Amino acid sequence: MDTIVTIHMFGEVYKFKAEAGVADAKEVADFLMEELGRVEKDLGPQAKTVTKTAKLLLATMNIANSYYNLKRQHMETVSELTQRSDALLMALEAVPDTPPSIKE
């Protein structure tokens, strides 16, 4: 069953249908609203003169920047883990096979 997500933005109500299986659609919408609030706070008194579109664009750019940074960090982490696991595999392969000792 699809989920209806409601966003209150700029004094208007927007409703979106999220596909079934889309996790945390409400949380994603809340995240957008939080970022929009940060943009308006950062703009200060100037926020009243900035258009809705510009505010949304700033929020979108902030979210995209965060996403890009997280994606880069993820790639660096995967690369580091790959290097470490390769080094461990090489070290394990370098250990000579010794038969287990039999205790009588």
| Per-residue pLDDT reduced to its tens digit, 55-67 | 999 999 999 999 9
Tell me the per-residue pLDDT of 74-104, one tens digit each, with 9 for 90 and over.
Answer: 999 999 999 999 999 999 888 887 776 776 5
Residue 101: what pLDDT? 72
Q: What integer is the mean pLDDT of 16-21?
A: 77
3-state secondary structure the chain: CCEEEEEEECCEEEEEEECCCCCCHHHHHHHHHHHHHHHHHHHHHHHHCCCHHHHHHHHHHHHHHHHHHHHHHHHHHHHHHHHHHHHHHHHHHHCCCCCCCCCC
Q: Would you state the pLDDT for residue 88?
A: 94
Average pLDDT, the chain: 89
